[in-house]
Amino acid sequence: MAGIETVLPRWVEDIGASVGVLPTIESRMQFVITLARTNVERHTGGPFGAAVFESGTGRLIGIGINLVEASNYSMAHAEMIAIATAQRAIGHYDLGRGSRACELVTSVEPCVMCLGAIVWSGIRRLICGARGEDACRIGFDEGPKPDDWVGQLQDRRIEVIRDVLGDQARAVLDLYAKGGGHIYNPERS
Amino acid sequence: MAGIETVLPRWVEDIGASVGVLPTIESRMQFVITLARTNVERHTGGPFGAAVFESGTGRLIGIGINLVEASNYSMAHAEMIAIATAQRAIGHYDLGRGSRACELVTSVEPCVMCLGAIVWSGIRRLICGARGEDACRIGFDEGPKPDDWVGQLQDRRIEVIRDVLGDQARAVLDLYAKGGGHIYNPERS
């Protein structure tokens, strides 16, 4: 029980290293959808991708894909990995510290766990592709998430932008479902 | 951005290694309160401790303390570390798999992020010491957690037992507050 460790597949590092500055919200969303799609195509995880960018410059700071099955951690959602790699990169647990304003771009709206992680991370803006109900439609679960989650984030001064390239993000969910991808909900026998 | 890693302090490993089977709920709670108190006394993190036990036998499977500041990950709450170390120990992301029934024992009720993590982890029972409002009283925040979170867990067949050695768990929160312990909420300037 010495600790926990999660390693990103090599292809994620390669994609991350090849990215320069992404100036628009749409280009950032396109990037995380590519992560999600590649994760499905390479069979390295679930149909979810996320990244943390410096909002002003569009510089990539953290990168995440769903690694639940690959890592054997149920918390290894794309958003969690993106936030953690960003915090590791800047060397601090508060991504909102000082003058830096960071945003999380995610191919699918967050589940309740990732919603909480967003609040604690110090990010200032959340940008979402597909809706949470799109993930539910193929069998995933958002958990006990408050109905007014967008308002709750806004109350905490976290801006929320939804439905960015939603069709493309939904297409990755459908690709996963059609390919027979595993929907890994816990057993409750 | 090769991955994420969290290392438990040596004293946590030593305490974990010295624990045999803890037969009662109270003895398990006493153990996680000791983790929380030692974390404060050694200045290795916030006033929170958690552990995963096999419910039937009382065997310790995972162990966690709050490591937010030590690890620079805002997600490094005691419950998250306990679940992750348990999943690493059994080599699977679903602690409810097969005939094993695991429980999470936590010195303070979970925040919204940890609530979600509990749902995804496959644990079957949650045992809590201090209330969420006790943590809020010294300046921590539970996040946008649904009011009916206990019912929501029960609906998902996760049993919830509250207020076990609550006074002792609250005393650790007070010890931290009186010692000037840092309440690390993100900046939102």
pLDDT in tens, A92-115: 999 998 888 999 999 999 999 999
User: Which token pair is B186?
Assistant: 């993100």
What is the DSSP code (8-state) at residue A47? S
Residue stretches of chain B with pLDDT short of 70? 1-3, 188-189
Residue A144: closest C-alpha in chain B: B152
Q: How far apart are CA A55 and CA A35, in angstroms?
A: 19
Cβ proximity of B1 and A50 under 8 Å: no
Contacts of B63 in chain A (CB under 8 A): 1
**Residues of A recognised as catalytic:** 79
Is pLDDT at A1 greater than 60 in this prediction?
no
Answer whether A115 sits within 8 Å of B115, measured CB to CB. no
Contacts of B69 in chain A (CB under 8 A): 93
Lowest mean pLDDT among A132-141, A149-158, A179-188: A179-188
Predicted local confidence at residue A3, as pLDDT = 66
Of A143, A94, A149, A159, the closest CA to residue A122 belongs to: A94
User: Which token pair is A87?
Assistant: 């915090």
Cβ-nearest to B111 among A85, A116, A145? A116
Task: Calculate helix-pair angle for A112-121, A78-90, nearest 10 degrees.
Answer: 20
Is pLDDT at A187 greater than 80 in this prediction?
no
Predicted local confidence at residue B189, as pLDDT = 57
Distance from CA of A70 to the nearest CA of B (A): 9
Of A123, A137, A49, the closest CA to residue A86 belongs to: A123
Predicted local confidence at residue A2, as pLDDT = 54
Answer with the residue of higher pLDDT: A8 or B171.
Answer: B171
Cβ proximity of A123 and B187 under 8 Å: no
Classify each residue of A19-28 as buried b or exposed e, where b means 16 or more C-beta atoms within 10 Å of its C-beta: beebeebeeb
Cβ-nearest to A119 among B88, B115, B143? B143
Predicted local confidence at residue B1, as pLDDT = 44
Answer whether A122 sits within 8 Å of B98, measured CB to CB. no
pTM of the model: 0.96
**Residues of B recognised as catalytic:** 79
Contacts of A156 in chain B (CB under 8 A): 144, 188
Q: How far apart are CA A55 and CA A58, in angstroms?
A: 5
Distance from CA of B16 to the nearest CA of A (A): 8
Distance from CA of A9 to the nearest CA of B (A): 8
Answer whether A122 sits within 8 Å of B97, measured CB to CB. no
pLDDT band of residue A20 (cuts 50, 70, 90) is: confident
Percent of chain A with pLDDT over 90: 84
Q: How far apart are CA B128 and CA A30, in angstroms?
A: 42
Distance from CA of A16 to the nearest CA of B (A): 8
Chain A interface test: which of B112, B124, B149 (most A C-beta within 10 Å): B112
Write the CB contacts of A41 (distance below 8 Å, at least 6 apart in sequence).
A175
Contacts of B85 in chain A (CB under 8 A): 1, 3-4
